[in-house]
Amino acid sequence: MLRRITFSSSLRSPSLFFRFFRHLPRSNFSLSSSPTTVGISGSNLRRLSTPITLRCICSHSSSEIASEHPPFVRIYKDGRVERLSGTEIIPASLTPQNGVISKDVVYSPEHNLSVRLFLPQKATELPAGSKIPLLVYIHGGAWIIGSPFESIYHSFLTEVVKSANCLAVSIQYRRAPEDPIPAAYEDSWSAIQWIFSHSDGSGSVDWINKYADFDRVFLAGDSAGANMSHHMAIRAGKEKLKPRIKGTAIVHPAFWGKDPVDELDLQDKEKRSRIAEVWEKLASPNSVDGTDDPWFNVVGSGSDFSEMGCEKVLVAVAGKDVFVRQGLGYAEKLKKSGWEGEVEVVEDEDEDHCFHLLNSDSENAPKFMKKFVDFISG
């Protein structure tokens, strides 16, 4: 069954998504006050010891620039990669913030990757044995920028956890260009397996053992994270992940392909080439199919959706988002795939890509938040 809800507004905001693909002259481009610089020696990334140290800058390295890809990264000739956005970090805190406590836990010592956990303070006062829904979240950022520790994701999930009274686990994954696709997908699946290893109460993290209700597990992500959430849900179905995921929220998904998905999809060749350039030069340079790679071309490829490993799916799209037709096409394809779950589509007609994160003052942001929270707690 396919349900569709449309929100509209009299407000019009400038395009948020295409700023990610507009190649600006250096004189017109301003850096974050704390850009992230990661050093590479040959193929070895100099991993940083804790998430918060992502803010450090290797000041003694060469400053000669090899290439720039605003607003994502600047690449230096010595191999360093400097991230130009998504670098504002908020540390985890056991002191309640808006009624929520948080902490970081390493799930992959091999790659020095962590998850950030968010727990409503009031959950610690529940009777013994009481459980709350578990939200597994995969952040966006074109597979290149962003992290669970970034301010917009920390703030968003703090609000979700408070409103939905759930435990959230936000996944850090390796990012391109240092670690091109499929590294992000491999890490996300490893994190999900690690999280589910707690389902019998014997895992390494007390919060998950004690509070997570594995009969109410939800998977969600935005943009590139929504893309990965789809692939994770498909893999969960194919590999019979137990317990089964209850629901998956696909928010403004980054699905694409060489050709428009329909006559209403973006036709502008220059704009399409910008998206292709980010994918082919930064995110997935080893892809032989370019933007028709099945990781990216989810709607137009022949991939089978019938084994989607969850009971229901929420697909959120924004009317001014370059990916809107892909998102709507995805919902239709899922509905017709033979999968027996429920699909609900929420469309914010006057909004742009990830407006609830990038333009949270929008009058539609609270409506989106309520729908997202209801999906988890309803």
Structure tokens at 328: 């709507």
Closest CA to 59 of 33, 80, 32, 88: 80
Sheet holding 2-7, edge to edge: 2-7, 342-348, 310-318, 245-251, 212-222, 132-138, 167-171, 113-120, 100-108
Structure tokens at 346: 């929420």
Q: How far is CA 161 from the centre of its chain?
A: 17
Annotated catalytic sites, by residue? 223, 321, 353
Give SS3 for 224. Answer: helix
- The one-letter code for the residue type at 118 is F
Which residues in 140-156 are b (16+ Cβ under 10 Å) and which e?
A: bbbbbbbbbbbebbbeb
Identify whether the C-beta of residue 218 lies closer than 8 Å to the C-beta of residue 135: yes
Q: How far is CA 262 from the centre of its chain?
A: 25
What beta strand segments (E) does the chain contain? 2-7, 36-38, 40-41, 44-45, 65-69, 73-76, 81-83, 100-108, 113-120, 132-138, 167-171, 212-222, 245-251, 310-318, 342-348
